[in-house]
Amino acid sequence: MFNDIGPMELVTLVVLAVLIFGPDKLPKLIQDVSNIIRKVRSFSESAKQDIRAELGPEFKDFEFEDLNPKNFVRKQLMDNDDLGLKEIRNSFDLRKDMEEVADAVHGRESAPATTAANGSANGSGTPDLLKKREKLEPGERPPFDADAT
C-alpha cells in the first residue's frame, strides 16, 4: 500500500504528524492506530475462517486473493491451459513475421530457416508476386497493384 512513498515523503509525514499532534500525544496515537490495525486484521482473519468453514470441504483450496479480478483471470486463463492458449501465444513471433515482410518489400532473400516455415513455392522466402521484381529508375514510381490496396 505504501510502496511508493519515498524517504523525503516519509520525513515530511513525520514532521507534519509532530506539528499536528505534538510530541507528547504522538506515541499514544501511534499505539492506538497499531491496536486498531491489529483488531481489523484479526477480525478479517476470523471472517475468512468462518467463510471457509461455511463453504465446506469442496472449497478447501479457495483463496480470497482469487476474488481480485486480475488474479482470477490469471489463474483461470493462464494456469488452466485447456484451450492450448500457451501454445498459441508462443507460436506468434511478431519480430520474425515483420522481418519477413520487410525482406519481401525490399526484395531481399530471407534466412533459410524462415523459408521452410512460410512454405512459399519459389523457395526464396518472398511471395511469387515479388519474385519478378524489376529495378526502378530513380524517381520512377512502382506499378499500382489494386489487389494490394
**34 falls within a domain:** yes
What does pLDDT average to over the chain?
76
What percentage of residues in the chain have a pLDDT greater than 90? Answer: 19
State how many domains the chain has.
2
> Is residue 85 in a domain?
no
Give the closest residue to 6 by CA, choosing from 38, 51, 14: 14
Q: Which of 40, 66, 39, 38 is nearest to 52 (CA)?
A: 66
The answer to the question of residue 97 being in a domain is yes
pLDDT at residue 65 tops 70:
yes
Radius of gyration in angstroms for the set of CA atoms belonging to the chain, rounded to a whole number: 32
The residue range of the domain holding 45 is 9-56
Residue 137 maps to a domain: no
pLDDT at 42: 96
In a domain, 61, yes or no: no
Task: Give a yes or no: residue 136 inside a domain.
Answer: no
Please state the pTM of the whole predicted model: 0.41
As given in the structure block, the three cell numbers for residue 10 are: 516519509
Residue 17 pLDDT exceeds 80: yes
Task: Assess if residue 88 is contained within a domain.
Answer: no
* Residue 134: DSSP 8-state: P
Does the residue 117 lie in any domain? yes
